[in-house]
Amino acid sequence: MPMRKWLDRSQPLAGAPGLRGLDVIAAEWRQSALDLAAGGTRLLALWTECAHSAAARALYGSHDFLLLVTLPFGGSEAEYPGISDIFPAAARMQRAAADLTGLRALGSDPRPWLRHAAWPADYRPLAASTPPAQGAELRADDYAFVRVTGDGVHEIPVGPVHAGIIEPGHFRFSVVGEKVLRLEERLGYVHKGIEQLFAQTRLIEGHRLAARISGDSAVAYSWAYCQALEALAACAVPPRAQWLRALALEAERIANHLGDLGALGNDAGFAFGLAQFSRLKELWLRATQAALGSRYLNDFVVPGGVGADAEPPRIIDLAACARMIETEVKILREIFDEHAGVRDRFVGTGIVTAELATKLGLVGLAARASGHDYDLRIDLPCEPYDRLPVQMCVRAEGDVAARVAVRFDELFESIRLVAAMAAELPPGDVRANGTMPAAGATAVGAIEGWRGPVLVALTAGEDGGIRRCHPHDPSWQNWPALEHAIIGNIVPDFPLINKSFNLSYSGHDL
C-alpha cells in the first residue's frame, strides 16, 4: 500500500496516542497527501508557520495513527503545493494560513478568509515582528461571491450580524422560490488573534488561553493543550487526574447535548422540548459546579493534572444527577420520536450522505451521523479511555434526525461513563510536575470533544515561552458540509439544519 511507505519513514512524536512525525520535500507533499487519501486517512488540520523557520504542516488521522507531515521551506520560498483538490477541507485552512503568514498554497482560492479589514492588506500577523503602522488604511476586500444565474434565481444575504448573541457569519443563499440552489459562507469575523496571543504567553499559562478558544469546548481544548505540553515536559499525569479530566470532558459533552437537543426541538416548533432540556441542562450545570468547581470548567484542566480534587460525596451526587437526567431524557426521546411535527421537520432534512462525508472529510458527531465510525476515545484512546471502553454511536441516514439520534445516543453513553468513572475513580494525587521543554520541540495534543477532534500543536520557545501554538476546531471540516446539506431544502429549514451541526464560529476564526 502506498500509504505504508510514509508511515515506515515516520518517527514516533510526543503527544497524543499513535502520533508520528514525517518531514518531506516539496515534491513529496502532494504525493503523501494522495497516498494517505487513497488509504482512507482524514486530513485533521493544516497550517503554516514562519517563526524562526518557515514550514507547512498537515496532520492526518486514521483509526490507528496520527501523522504530522512537515514541509520545511528553504530560502525565500513563499508558496507550497496545495492539496485542496485532494482534501476539500484544506481549502479554507490554506486561505487562513495565507492571511496569517503570507505562505500560500499553489492553486488555492486566492480570496482572503480571515482579514475582513482587521489589518492592512499587506500585513501578515504571524510573520510580522511589529504591529501595523498607526493610521494604516484598513479597506475591506471586494469579496467575489460565486453568482448563480438563471430564470427565477435570486439571492438572500443573511448576516454577518445576527439577532441576539449569535456570533457573526455571512450566509449567501441562491434560491428559486424557497428552494436553495447554493449556499456560500463567509466566516472569520470574530478573528481574535489567538495564535499571536499564544506567542506572548508562557508555556505554563497557555492552558488558560486554550480553554477560552471556544467556550463550549473548554475542557477539550485545555486538555489537548496540556497533553501536548506534558509530552514535551516529560510529565507523568497521576491516574486520578486523568480520570477527573475524562469526567469533566463527559460532563461538557452532556451539557452541550442537552442544550442542543432543546434548541433543535425549538427550531422544529416544539417549545416544550426547549423548556425541558433547558431545565435539565441547568440542573446538570449546577451539579457540575458543585462537584468540579465551576459550571463551564474553564480552568479545571491544568498542566500536570487538574486544578483541584473533587470530594467523593460530590462525585456521587454528580453521578446521581446524571442518572436522574437519563430517566427524564428517555421520556423526552420518546416524545420527540412520536411527535409527528418534529419527525416531519427532522427526517430527510439536511442530508449529508456517507459518500459526501468522506469527500468533505467530515468529523465528529456529524460524521458519525453519516455512517463514519471515527472517535478518538475509541480509535486512539488516552487514559482512562483505554481502560473504560466507549460505545461508538453511529447512524447512517445523515439527516437532521440522524444527528439528533447520535446526540441522544452519545448523551446516554456519557451518562454511563460518568457513573462508571464515579464508581472507579482511583485515589492519589491530582497534579504532577515536569521538566522545562527544549526550545523548538513540538508535540500535538488530540482530544475528542463533543463536536469532534480538538487538536493543539505546540512548539516550545526559549525561556519557557511559546514559539508557536496552533489550535484546531472540528468546525473547520464541518462548516463546508453545511453548504451541501442545505441544497434542495427550503430556506426556512436552514436554522434547523445549522443547529443540527451547531458549529463554532469562535473556534474556527482564530
The CATH number for 349's domain is 1.10.645.10
Does residue 492 lie within any of the structural domains?
A: no
Domain that holds residue 98: 2-106
Tell me: pLDDT of 1 over 70: no
- Among 63, 78, 106, the domain boundary falls at 106
Give me the pLDDT at residue 146, please: 86
Does residue 369 lie within any of the structural domains?
A: yes
Picking from 423, 242, 239, 430, the residue whose alpha carbon sits closest to that of residue 315 is 423
Question: Could you give the number of structural domains in the chain?
Answer: 2
Does residue 480 lie within any of the structural domains?
A: no
- Among 83, 106, 129, the domain boundary falls at 106
Q: What is the largest CA-CA distance in the chain?
A: 71
Picking from 36, 125, 113, 34, the residue whose alpha carbon sits closest to that of residue 81 is 34
444 CB-contact burial (10 Å; exposed 0-12 / middle 13-18 / buried 19+): buried
Give me the pLDDT at residue 30, please: 96
Does residue 200 lie within any of the structural domains?
A: no
Does residue 49 lie within any of the structural domains?
A: yes
The pTM for the full model equals: 0.96
Percent of the chain scoring above 90 in pLDDT: 82
298 or 146, which is more confident?
298
The least confident of 160-169, 237-246, 393-402, 482-491 is 160-169
Give me the pLDDT at residue 77, please: 67
244 and 102 housed in the same domain: no
pLDDT band at 509 (very low <50, low <70, confident <90, very high): confident
Please state the three-class secondary structure of 412-467 as a single string: HHHHHHHHHHHHHCCCCCCECCCCCCCCCCEEEEEEECCCCEEEEEEEECHHHEEE
Residue 89 CA to residue 476 CA, distance in Å, equals 7
Give me the pLDDT at residue 192, please: 86
Does residue 358 lie within any of the structural domains?
A: yes
- The residue assigned the cell 485545555 is 222
For residue 342, the one-letter residue type is V
Give me the pLDDT at residue 214, please: 94
Phi, psi of 415 (to 5 degrees): -65, -40
pLDDT in tens, 64-84: 999 999 999 876 668 999 999
Number of Cβ within 10 Å of residue 425's Cβ equals 18
The least confident of 184-188, 254-258, 322-326 is 184-188
Give me the pLDDT at residue 100, please: 93
Task: Give me the CATH number covering residue 7.
Answer: 3.30.460.80
Q: Which residues contact 110 (CB under 8 A, 6 or more apart)?
A: none
Which residues share a beta bridge with 42? 61
Does residue 234 lie within any of the structural domains?
A: no
- Among 432, 467, 490, the domain boundary falls at 432
Does residue 56 lie within any of the structural domains?
A: yes
Residue 45 CA to residue 56 CA, distance in Å, equals 11
pLDDT in tens, 32-48: 999 999 999 999 999 99
Q: What end-to-end distance do the CA atoms of the chain give, in Å? A: 37
Picking from 32, 61, 87, 59, the residue whose alpha carbon sits closest to that of residue 456 is 59
